[in-house]
A and B are shown apart, each in its own frame.
Chain A
Amino acid sequence: MLSMKNISRVYRSETIQTHALRDFSLEVEKGEFVAVTGPSGSGKSTFLNVAGLLDGFTQGEYTLDGTDVNGLSDDDLSRLRNEKIGFIFQNYNLIPDYSIFDNVDMPLRYRGLSAKQRRNRIEYALELVGLASRHNYLPSQLSGGQQQRVAIARALAGEPKILLADEPTGNLDSLMARQIMDLLKEINAQGSTIIMVTHDPDQAREVNRNIQIIDGQITDYSIYAPMQPDSSIALDKQQPA
């Protein structure tokens, strides 16, 4: 599904060079739910942005769902973003004066779908995140967790191959975070591939694969078996004693 080989991303300013990603390689299979952890500034967001084609890379090879991304035009990249990727941001990034319906509609507008097709998909996606009855609400009329659900619906409505989420629960209290996690797991269970950046080790432990990035490189690479919430066996170094 996703294959990165020796990817580097260097930020250059006048005085300093930052190697946000160095010699970064990763394979993600269809249907996986991957959690990405690591200290602040280690390159997690950079990885996700490169994966989501929101950012370019300096070196290496990146193949997304069979398409070599290197050298693609802006038009091609946009189409890939539109058709294959659903991005979920920590800050939801909803348009404040657009209704829920219109927010979810936005990516579909660039798809060349008929009004009826769009409506069907929006209704399906809002149904899935449990907001079917709130089409005409504005984001400000919803709780943070509900807003993030709208953002998830927006990411799902285009039926993407892969969902990329950068700390989707970072702004939420634990109860709402729990609900979003359950929703993502349900979506994964229905076959979607998900990569999620998180600071929460408990969340990381819930999914079937966990990678840790430090200083732009993968340092830990563990595969967890799917498990019950109460059977958290101590494979996690960050777990307090």
Chain B
Amino acid sequence: MEMFLYYIHLFARNVKRTPLFFALVILTLSIGIGTLLANLSMLSLMSTDPIPGKSEQIFNVNMNTYAGANNRFGSMHVLRYSDAKAILDSKVANNATMHYSSMVYSRRADSQDLTRYASPTRATTASFFEVMGAQFAHGEPWKNEHSNNIVIGHELNVKLFGGANSVGEKLELQGKIYTIVGVLKPWEMRPLFYHASEGKAFDKTDDIFVPIEVAIDNNWAVFARTMSTDSYTTLDQTRQINAYYIQVFVELLDDKQHLAFQTFIDGYANQLKEKGNHRHEVDNRLYNVNEWLDKNEVVNKDLLAFTIATGLFLLVCIFNANSLMLSRYQASQFEANLRRAVGASKKQVFFQGVVESIILGIICALLSFVLAFSLLALYRQLFDELAPVAELPLHMLVIGLGVALTSSLLSTVYPLIQGTRTSLASILK
């Protein structure tokens, strides 16, 4: 302990002796670590498993049912209502849900105030919550897919009801009254794999969840890609026509279920083909969560390349710091040798260097955090598509500290070992 304090004291002296040198080393390493940290943070947010433990068991269903002559899209993730419904009704999958994205204006039915909040809405089935792992703070999913019952998210519940248990309360949505039957716990899902397409992968979870049948009946608009080869004027006309806007997710627990489901859906498609309701080749694809995120390029490929480049840049920074350190150790080899001559052991001289590099590493880490924060703030300003992930999560700070300590140790250990190798007699005259 005594020695440890002495080493810290010596570090302070060394900094005072050559402040410019230390500033240079610290800056070199911090810039390298800071840029890597910023990019790595975004990358890690992009490549987080949004539903650990279940990501191998939940699949997005793609079908090749496009009714136009030219199928430029191949197997598509947006399905017709009739196909989606058939999949859910078949009950072949362990669990299944369908949904589309909408947006409604919401207001407490009992409020004097006429203010309405624009609320991202998911038109879906009661099974959605279980499939996606959403947890309820109050109440439960609706029991009847044709009832005017809804579930709301934590944020909207705070906005409208101050976070109280609002089960039983009523909301006015698009001019009709709906009863709240469930309130979700705070629910963060990044990436938002249930809607990973159309650049929505970093949207927040929805504010309102409504039975999809009710939403269709009430013509709640689709806020995502829709395609149709038939014409329609209102959404409630789309149940039997070639309108593509519904996503289906199924839960398949093992290979057996996977095979059973694939067999079912291929059989189903072949039946459609026989009836003339499947114009192109049968091509049904199941993507599990990670495959689905991959397919939608949720991890930005440019960013990946850029991150690799910053990784190499950090290596260059470490080499630089290393050679700086080496030059200093040659200069201060005299002192190290003198210390050994008067009784410091190689170990003690080595530890002195290690303590120095640990302090250096901590300083670099702190500075690189500041740099990374600033860089991410800059990204948010400059690149819209990076804005949702331009954040520094806590675990990245830990990684940053680790990288900083490793970098600083790497920059000092080699010169240190070189330093303790030289013979004392050859330096001191």
A→B interface (CB under 8 Å) = 45-46, 49, 52, 54-55, 74-75, 77-79, 81-83, 87, 89-91, 93, 95, 97, 106-107, 109-112, 154, 158, 166
Contacts and interface: CB of A to CB of B under 8 A. Distances in A.
A54 B423 CA distance: 8
A45 B342 CA distance: 17
A81 B425 CA distance: 13
A110 B428 contact: no
A107 B3 CA distance: 13
8 contacts: A49-B425, A54-B425, A55-B423, A78-B343, A89-B428, A90-B429, A95-B338, A110-B342
Contact of A55 (B3, B342, B425): B425
A151 to B, nearest CB: 10
B341 A81 contact: yes
A22 B341 CA distance: 24
Q: What 10 A-B pairs come out closest when comparing CB atoms? A: A82-B343, A78-B345, A107-B342, A55-B425, A49-B425, A54-B424, A110-B343, A54-B425, A75-B345, A81-B343
B335 interface: yes
B425 A89 contact: no
Contacts of A166: 429
B200 interface: no
Interface residues of B, number: 23
Interface in B402-427: 423-425
B346 A83 contact: no
A91 B429 contact: yes
A46 B425 CA distance: 8
Contacts of A78: 340, 343-346, 348
B339 interface: yes
B339 A106 contact: yes
Contacts of A49: 424-425
B428 A54 contact: yes
B2 interface: yes
Contacts of B348: 78, 110
A74 B338 contact: no
Interface string B325-362: 00000000011001111111111100000000000000
Contacts of A95: 335, 338
A237 B335 CA distance: 41
Contacts of B3: 109
A52 B343 CA distance: 11
A97 B342 contact: no
Contacts of A89: 428-429
A125 to B, nearest CB: 13
A83 B344 CA distance: 11
Contacts of B6: 109
B355 to A, nearest CB: 14
Nearest to A49: B425
Contacts of B424: 49, 54-55
Given A74-B347, A95-B335, A54 B341 contact: yes
B342 A81 contact: yes
A93 B345 contact: no
B343 A111 contact: yes
Contacts of A111: 343
Nearest to A107: B342
A45 B423 CA distance: 14
B343 to A, nearest CB: 2
B343 A79 contact: yes
Given A54-B424, A78-B340, A112 B345 contact: no
Contacts of A154: 342
A93 B428 contact: yes
A87 B342 contact: yes
